[in-house]
């Protein structure tokens, strides 16, 4: 009898809606749902963050025999629980209160201030996941996500053997190369991982310990979250020091870019319960005739949001309501929010409303709050994480801005388009793969502008261009941008099929 089950186990630090700090949570929550719909048995392993996960979203099923791991001299016990999300996705929760019963996933400020013991916390996730496989059943495929699950391949190889036939197939997905889990090499001896993986073909990188590098090199295949990012990261500009390894994998066909999707049932302007007004149109696709419904949807959501935030509704030429520019983002330097703020500081009397939601880097937070302070009549900056407010901004924004300098995939632009927003975004990674640039003559159905030079001038130019199209009396160009954007369907069907094939390939002996 085959010793492996036919399951695919996801291992990662977040899973929406239980626990989410950014897009990783969305993907860990939605890709399994669509794989399960295709008949694949998926289970998701996450830490049991008792302080974060709401019990009412979770149906705990069983507890399994606990495990123990030595971190250096110190033994740590952990528990294994199985559960199910409300929508039926099977879960394995790693229960270790000292490490996981915290207020945040990675640390305060959207992961910018990290907990000092994150190395141990996420090594615990790997040990817990592999222990759970032993007691529940060894899956055919382990699919680990990001540096925080980067130790899973080593712990699995140690437990089941390095030989392909003796262990599950190992797949590793890079959601963001900017976060690699880099620590002093001496710490390697304190995380319960076999020392043989402390080598350049494992976790060692220029004398440091690098979780993401080992996670990728000890897996059978690595994926990342868009085709453009997969090729970008093989170059020094985007490779964060791992471009050599990434290029080798890419050339061998062992680094693949698979575009993320969003959960179109959850992000739906027709049924979203968190927004002020829902779209009164049941169509699956829209034509210019439907523009009136979209204009109504935007104007009502914009009016209600501005009211809720105490921002006056401002009008321009001909009494037309000025556009609303929306931001929903981690405030990390690579997201370019600081450049967007600079472009607004430099722009006297800018003729639009701005609503920003985000948290992270404290300088960017302070800068956003300061702009809102001096431009009280047109800017609101909400610092924090607020799921409902994010939905309201997507529903209200005429223009959604994502001025990223690098973006592995980006989900916010996909969500914003689903809610009829026109995009201004950096021309990089998944933004390049999902936004159709109106400046590109070859593009038939543009959905926004891709900014080639991500600086103050580039952003101001793009906003000014979209502003003029929005305000144009004739309005035909704006209408078609909105209709094109709202017709985009970045669901999971295509990409889930690609993952399904990849799982099949990865379990085959020669792969
Ligand atoms: P990243 O994963 O790099 O943060 P993505 O665009 O892939 O970027 O995904 C971001 C996800 O997190 C989206 O679902 C977005 O709505 C959500 N998000 C980001 N910041 C906030 C916030 N401050 N409050 C609520 N949701 C947020
Ligand atoms: C990361 C990336 C983002 C991507 C998300 C989900 O957080 O920064 O671009 O969309 O992961 O894969």
Cite the residue boundaries of each domain of the chain with CATH code 3.40.50.2000: 14-43+118-261+493-507, 291-486
Q: Which atom of ligand 1 is nearest to the CA of 330?
A: 20
Three-point CA angle 83, 499, 123, nearest 5°: 50
Q: What backbone torsions phi and psi does residue 499 show, to the nearest 5 degrees?
A: -65, -40
**Closest C-alpha to ligand 2, atom 7:** 23
Residue 327's pLDDT is what? 98
Confidence of residue 110 (pLDDT cuts 50, 70, 90): low
Confidence of residue 54 (pLDDT cuts 50, 70, 90): confident
Per-residue DSSP letters for 124-138? HHHHHHHHHHHHH--
- Tell whether the model's pLDDT for residue 346 goes beyond 90: yes
Helix-, strand-, coil-residue percentages of the chain, each rounded to 5: 40, 20, 40
- Tell whether the model's pLDDT for residue 24 goes beyond 80: yes
19 secondary structure, DSSP code: B
Q: Which atom of ligand 2 is nearest to the CA of 26?
A: 6
- Tell whether the model's pLDDT for residue 419 goes beyond 50: yes
Q: What is the mean pLDDT of the chain?
A: 96
Q: Is the dihedral of CA 342, 348, 354, 356 positive or negative?
A: positive
Tell me the per-residue pLDDT of 88-98, one tens digit each, with 9 for 90 and over: 999 999 999 99
**Closest C-alpha to ligand 1, atom 9:** 23
Candidate CATH numbers 3.40.50.300, 3.40.718.10, 3.90.850.10, 3.40.50.2000; the one for domain 14-43+118-261+493-507? 3.40.50.2000
Element counts in the chain: helices (H) and strands (E): 16, 18
408, 412, 421, 433: residue to mutate for ligand 1 pocket, most atoms within 8 A of CB: 412
Confidence of residue 195 (pLDDT cuts 50, 70, 90): very high
328, 382, 386, 388: residue to mutate for ligand 1 pocket, most atoms within 8 A of CB: 328
Ligand 2 centroid from CA 485, angstroms: 20
Rounded percentage of the chain residues whose pLDDT exceeds 90? 94
- The mean pLDDT of 196-219, rounded to a whole number, is 98
Rounded percentage of the chain residues whose pLDDT exceeds 70? 99
Ligand 2 centroid from CA 23, angstroms: 5
Residue 291's pLDDT is what? 96
- 130, 198, 341, 367, 419 from 346: Cα distances, Å: 53, 50, 9, 13, 30
- The mean pLDDT of 337-360, rounded to a whole number, is 97
Confidence of residue 112 (pLDDT cuts 50, 70, 90): low
Torsion of CA 218, 5, 498, 130, to 10 degrees: -30
- Tell whether the model's pLDDT for residue 126 goes beyond 60: yes
Confidence of residue 109 (pLDDT cuts 50, 70, 90): low
- The mean pLDDT of 29-38, rounded to a whole number, is 97
408, 426, 435, 492: residue to mutate for ligand 2 pocket, most atoms within 8 A of CB: 408
Residue 179's pLDDT is what? 95
Candidate CATH numbers 3.40.50.10490, 3.90.660.10, 3.55.40.20, 3.40.50.2000; the one for domain 291-486? 3.40.50.2000
Nearest to 395 by CA among 420, 413, 425: 420
Ligand 2 centroid from CA 71, angstroms: 31
Confidence of residue 3 (pLDDT cuts 50, 70, 90): confident
289-322 b/e (C-beta count within 10 Å ≥ 16 → b): ebbebbbebbbbbbbbbbeebebeeeeeeeeebb
Tell me the per-residue pLDDT of 282-339, one tens digit each, with 9 for 90 and over: 888 999 999 999 999 999 999 999 999 999 999 998 899 999 999 999 999 999 999 9
The pair of three-digit structure tokens given for residue 143, joined into one six-digit string: 């699919």
Tell me the per-residue pLDDT of 249-290, one tens digit each, with 9 for 90 and over: 999 999 999 999 999 999 999 999 999 999 988 888 999 999
Could you tell me if the CB of 447 is within 6 A of ligand 2? no
Ligand 1 centroid from CA 417, angstroms: 15
**Rounded to two decimals, what is the model's pTM?**
0.97
Confidence of residue 1 (pLDDT cuts 50, 70, 90): very low
């Amino acid at each position: 009898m085959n010793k492996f089950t036919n399951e695919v186990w996801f291992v990662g630090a977040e899973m929406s809606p239980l626990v989410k700090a950014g897009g990783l949570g969305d993907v860990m929550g939605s890709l399994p749902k669509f794989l399960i719909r295709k008949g694949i048995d998926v289970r998701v392993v996450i830490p049991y963050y008792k302080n974060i996960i709401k019990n009412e979203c979770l149906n705990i099923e069983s507890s399994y025999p606990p495990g123990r791991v030595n971190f250096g001299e110190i033994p740590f016990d952990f528990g294994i629980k199985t559960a199910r999300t409300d929508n039926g996705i099977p879960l394995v929760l790693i229960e270790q209160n000292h490490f996981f019963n915290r207020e945040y996933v990675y640390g305060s400020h959207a992961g910018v201030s990290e907990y000092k013991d994150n190395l141990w916390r996420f090594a615990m996730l790997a040990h817990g996941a592999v222990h759970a496989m032993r007691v529940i059943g060894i899956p055919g495929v382990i699919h680990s996500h990001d540096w925080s699950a980067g130790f899973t391949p080593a712990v699995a190889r140690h437990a089941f053997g390095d030989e392909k036939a003796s262990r599950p197939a190992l797949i590793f997905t890079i959601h963001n190369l900017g976060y690699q889990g880099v620590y002093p090499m001496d710490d390697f001896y304190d995380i319960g991982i076999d020392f043989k993986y402390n080598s350049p073909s494992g976790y060692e990188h220029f004398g440091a310990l690098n979780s993401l590098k080992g996670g990728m090199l000890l897996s059978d295949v690595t994926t990342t979250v868009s085709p453009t990012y997969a090729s970008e990261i093989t170059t020094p500009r985007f490779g964060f020091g791992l471009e050599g390894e990434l290029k080798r994998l890419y050339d061998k066909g062992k680094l693949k870019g698979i575009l993320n999707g969003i959960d179109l049932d959850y992000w739906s302007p027709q049924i979203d319960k968190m927004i002020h007004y829902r779209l009164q149109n049941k169509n699956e696709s829209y034509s210019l005739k439907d523009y009136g419904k979209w204009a109504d949807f935007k104007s009502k959501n914009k009016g209600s949001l501005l009211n809720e935030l105490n921002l006056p509704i401002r009008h321009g030429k001909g009494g037309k309501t000025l556009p609303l520019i929306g931001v929903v983002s981690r405030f990390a330097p690579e997201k370019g929010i600081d450049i967007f703020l600079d472009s607004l500081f430099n722009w006297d009397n800018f003729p639009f409303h701005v609503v920003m939601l985000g948290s992270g880097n404290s300088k960017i937070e302070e800068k956003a709050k300061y702009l809102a302070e001096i431009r009280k009549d047109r800017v609101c900056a909400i610092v924090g994480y607020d799921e409902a407010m994010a939905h309201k901004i997507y529903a209200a924004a005429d223009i959604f801005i994502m001025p990223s300098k690098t973006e592995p995939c980006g989900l916010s632009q996909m969500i914003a388009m689903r809610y009829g927003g026109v995009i201004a975004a950096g021309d990089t990674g998944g933004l390049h793969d999902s936004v159709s640039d109106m400046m590109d003559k070859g593009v038939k159905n543009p959905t926004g502008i891709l900014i080639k030079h991500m600086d103050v001038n580039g952003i101001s130019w793009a906003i000014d261009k979209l502003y003029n199209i929005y305000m144009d009396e004739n309005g035909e160009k704006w209408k078609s941008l909105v209709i094109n954007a709202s017709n985009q369907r970045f669901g999971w069907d295509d990409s889930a099929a690609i993952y399904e094939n990849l799982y099949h390939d990865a379990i085959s002996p020669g792969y």
